[in-house]
Amino acid sequence: MDMYPYKTALSTRWGRDVAPDNAWYEYPRPQLVRENWQNLNGLWEYAITSVAEKNTPEQWDGHILVPFALESRLSGVQRLLQPAEALWYRRTIELASTAGRRTLLNFEAVDYRCDVWVNDMHVCSHQGGNTPFAVDVARAVQRGANEIVVRVEDETDAWQLRGKQVLEPQGIWYTRVSGIWQTVWLEQVAETYIEDLDITTNAANGLIRVAAKVNGPEGAPRLRVIVLDKEERALSAEGSATGLSIYLEDPKLWTPETPHLYTLDVHLLNGAGNTLDRAVSYAGIRTVGKTRDADGHLRFTLNGAPIFHWGTLDQGWWPDGLLTPPSDAAMLYDIEYLKAAGFNMIRKHIKVEPRRYYYHCDRLGMMLWQDQPSGGENPPWTFLNENPEDAQWPEEHHQQFMVELERMMDTLKNSPAIVVWVPFNEAWGQQRTMEVGRWVAQRDPSRLVNIASGGNFFPIGDIVDGHAYPEPRFPFAPERFNEFIKVVGEFGGHGFPVDGHLWNPDQKNWGYGKQLPENLNEYTERYRGSIERLNALRQDGIAAGVYTQTTDVEVEINGLLSYDREVAKIPAGALANIHRELLPNLIGNKR
């Protein structure tokens, strides 16, 4: 039994600067910001026991740097968690006061199943490794010192939604990730407080609608929302917390070219008009849709204008942090590189990023296709052929899939950057496709549904998505696909190794195609040729293209960037020139 993952020599410039006092110190929830919060990242004690052990360890194995997963270099441990083991965490925090306040303990993501105790009181159990959860620990905390203990189980395999993680990494499957892998934090709020906001917009009439999920004993609370445009008050309104509509005259719309965001100062009021809770959020006014062009092909629209979606497949993996970016600045670097390279979209592949990732896409103007992390059993992969099959999942595992899908959609629902939901990829865990597609469309009619990117195509949702490597192609079948937007959801994958920047220089590294290019000029020409072919497919009705991929990942060397982000195989400016030449009208017009 292997105890340790492959220990690469590769690291990032951001990872080399990580320390216990600066590990992910930014506020983690940009669309519901309060001033009173406490970051709990840093050094925690850890221990590994048999999964049969349910009692808190008496002896601890050392320290682990939260929020980095056990297997990552940045955790300071770099050990594999076995399916028959449990991972424990412990730390003590100080609270100045708890009287008259609720104390909320927040975990941005823990992979995969966990229990939490505060001062020996069990406060919650949670299953699902990709989205945030919070627990009110007011009954357990006290003024002064408070002990937090977390117990984690993570089999990685079987039915759990794990994305690209496997027990034996190879090819497109990567090192497993266990335990806390995003920020842990605490906030104190009033007895009645805003638990969540639901923000919807409409570009045609300048609508911003704000509804609040309120937790607490106060009856019939109201909202006061002040809309700010670059710190200047644009409009304010007051009304029921169940939904308050604000209409802006001549609104500034959100597009990739002009990603305008309005600040929302949200006050929760009691019957006397006094503020119970206050939070700051933001909104980008935009409307996602589709239309037929003069040739009868369906196209994407943004704010009513046709727009070609042009992006990369983006895995979000790192050599030193694995699923966890080394820092907020590291995560931002990838988005800024793609923006400078002339992309207007990212397909976030089989991963849910920290919430700050979506904030950066919102403010920089990068549209997102958001995948649901995959897992479980697969049906036969029949691509876009007729008579596809679904996998047969037991009811309990299907229900857990739906729980985690809804959590992802609910967590990210207010991001203007997200324009497409992708429930399945390449038949991975694809089951009850028609049912899932109808549910997603009903759950969020403000976005489009790409039911199965490259996977088994069922006639549900808005998009039919074909994958082809290395050159883009599409099996046009008007009688089957005429009612769907046609896209090439993955292509390219041209590999090029960069010496000194490889995950494992002793292992065969690979990219798509019969053989790797001999030099950078040949690599660039292959890329240029693929874009020319994609551009030709636009005339046949292709409305989007997704190039594989943003960065190298472990032994995959098909990224535009090396895995450590030190080398841009094609500089951003050169990519932008290629894209301008071949795809001159990438960005939709403003309203």
Residue 400, SS3 per DSSP: helix
393-409 tens-digit pLDDT: 999 999 999 999 999 99
Percent of the chain whose pLDDT exceeds 90: 92
Q: Are residues 183 and 212 in the same domain?
A: no
Residue 589 counted as domain residue: no
Cα–Cα distances in Å, from 45 out to 55, 88, 212, 517?
A: 16, 8, 37, 48
Among 241, 257, 283, give the residue marking a domain's end. 283
DSSP run (H or E) holding 399: helix 395-412
Instruction: List, for residues 28-82, the tens digit of each pLDDT value.
Output: 999 999 998 999 999 999 999 999 999 999 999 999 999 999 999 999 999 999 9
317 and 277 both lie in a single domain:
no
Whether residue 157 lies inside any domain: the answer is yes
- Specify whether 182 is located in the same domain as 197: no
Examine residue 591 and state whether it is found in any structural domain, yes or no.
no
d(CA 284, CA 294): 30
Residues 340 and 525 sit within 8 Å (Cβ to Cβ):
no
Query: Among 124, 142, 120, which Cα is nearest to 132's?
Result: 124
Q: Are 204 and 185 part of one and the same domain?
A: no
In angstroms, the CA 350 to CA 352 distance is 7
Q: For the chain, what is the domain count?
A: 3
Using CA atoms, how far residue 318 sits from 23, 263, 369, 575, in Å, is 15, 32, 20, 23
Instruction: Please report which confidence band the pLDDT of residue 590 belongs to, taking 50, 70 and 90 as the band edges.
Output: very low
**Residue 581, Cβ neighbours under 10 Å: how many?**
12
Closest CA to 40 of 134, 129, 120: 134
What per-residue confidence (pLDDT) applies to 588?
39
In a domain, 564, yes or no: yes
- Residues 181 and 277 reside in one and the same domain: no
Query: Given 3-state DSSP classes, what are the helix, strand and coil percentages for the chain, each rounded to the nearest 5?
Result: 15, 35, 50
CATH number of the domain to which 102 belongs: 2.60.120.260
- Identify whether residues 350 and 482 lie together within a single domain: yes
Report yes or no: 72 and 78 within 8 Å, Cβ to Cβ. Answer: yes
What values do phi and psi take at 332, rounded to 5? -65, -35
Q: Mean pLDDT score of the chain, rounded to an integer?
A: 95
The whole domain housing 500 covers 288-582
Query: Could you report the per-residue pLDDT of 103-151, keeping only the tens digit for each?
Result: 999 999 999 999 999 999 999 999 999 999 999 999 999 999 999 999 9
Tens of pLDDT, residues 521-574: 999 999 999 999 999 999 999 999 999 999 999 999 999 999 999 999 999 999
Answer whether 347's CB lies under 8 Å from 243's CB: no
Query: Of 189, 213, 232, which residue constitutes the final position of a domain?
Result: 189
User: Is there a single domain that holds both residue 123 and residue 268?
Assistant: no
Same domain as 164, residue 136: yes
* CATH code of the domain containing 250: 2.60.40.10
**Cα 221 from Cα 229, distance rounded (Å):** 26
Q: What is the pLDDT of residue 589?
A: 34
Nearest to 196 by CA among 70, 34, 25: 34
590 falls within a domain: no
Q: What is the residue whose two structure tokens read 């991001």?
A: 415
Residue 2 lies inside a defined structural domain of this protein: no
In a domain, 8, yes or no: no
Q: Are residues 174 and 227 in the same domain?
A: no
Position 234 scores a pLDDT of 79
Helix (H) or strand (E) holding 395: helix 395-412
Q: Are residues 205 and 176 in the same domain?
A: no
> Which is it for the CA torsion 16, 17, 21, 22, positive or negative?
negative
277 and 163, same structural domain?
A: no
Instruction: Answer whether residue 121 is part of any domain.
Output: yes
CATH number of domain containing 552: 3.20.20.80
Stated length of the chain: 591
- d(CA 431, CA 359) in angstroms, rounded, equals 31
From 162, 189, 216, the end of a domain falls on 189
> Does 234 lie in the same domain as 139?
no
